[in-house]
Chains A and B, each alone.
Chain A
Amino acid sequence: NAGVTQTPKFQVLKTGQSMTLQCAQDMNHNSMYWYRQDPGMGLRLIYYSASEGTTDKGEVPNGYNVSRLNKREFSLRLESAAPSQTSVYFCASSVGRRTGELFFGEGSRLTVL
């Protein structure tokens, strides 16, 4: 049971470089989310997709873009990485937007130098 799969698991970037974090879920979930977790902080929502074809900003969207490629896949793009974007990124999915029960991937640790 793969659940939610994120790639890559680790990435080091230089300031100004771009990259895309990939996320795929095999649970036929409608809603998908991207969170970041910083030391001593809770999870903060970057963007979410309530259903295929829709995306919306979360609490901390600046510097990021997302694409809901299809029902399974939801990618997060950093166009011009900044040191402030050094973080652990988690993708999650849920049956629908109304449930708080999220299924998370293992995380992607990103360092921006």
Chain B
Amino acid sequence: DQQVKQNSPSLSVQEGRISILNCDYTNSMFDYFLWYKKYPAEGPTFLISISSIKDKNEDGRFTVFLNKSAKHLSLHIVPSQPGDSAVYFCAAMGKGGGADGLTFGKGTHLIIQP
């Protein structure tokens, strides 16, 4: 039973345009959400996070939006750059829990076309 779902295995976007990566979750106990980015042959790196008390968090070109009622979050990358080509994992953890309770999605492979 997948509690964190990334329904698009891959996404192709033109350089300079907006990339939107989506993530849905089913567990209403999740209250903290993160995005990780992974290049081939490297480990994932933390990108951005959002707490359930917020509906938006921005960091430079990266913005994460959280819609609690829909149990949906999205990562926006504007403008998209070639170096953004990577696999992006959505992750969630619950109230009172710890990183041992982090649940990861299967990832979305973002390809930025020149």
Contacts and interface: CB of A to CB of B under 8 A. Distances in A.
Contacts of A58: 100
Interface string A88-108: 001010101111111111110
B16 to A, nearest CB: 30
B106 A102 contact: no
A31 B101 CA distance: 13
B20 to A, nearest CB: 20
B89 A42 contact: yes
Contacts, number: 65
Given A90-B44, A107-B43, A56 B104 contact: no
Contact of A43 (B41, B42, B89, B93): B89
A104 B44 contact: yes
Interface residues of A, number: 28
B49 interface: yes
Contact of A100 (B9, B43, B49, B107): B49
B13 to A, nearest CB: 21
Interface in A64-113: 90, 92, 94, 96-107
Interface of A: 4, 31, 33, 40-45, 48, 50, 56, 58, 90, 92, 94, 96-107
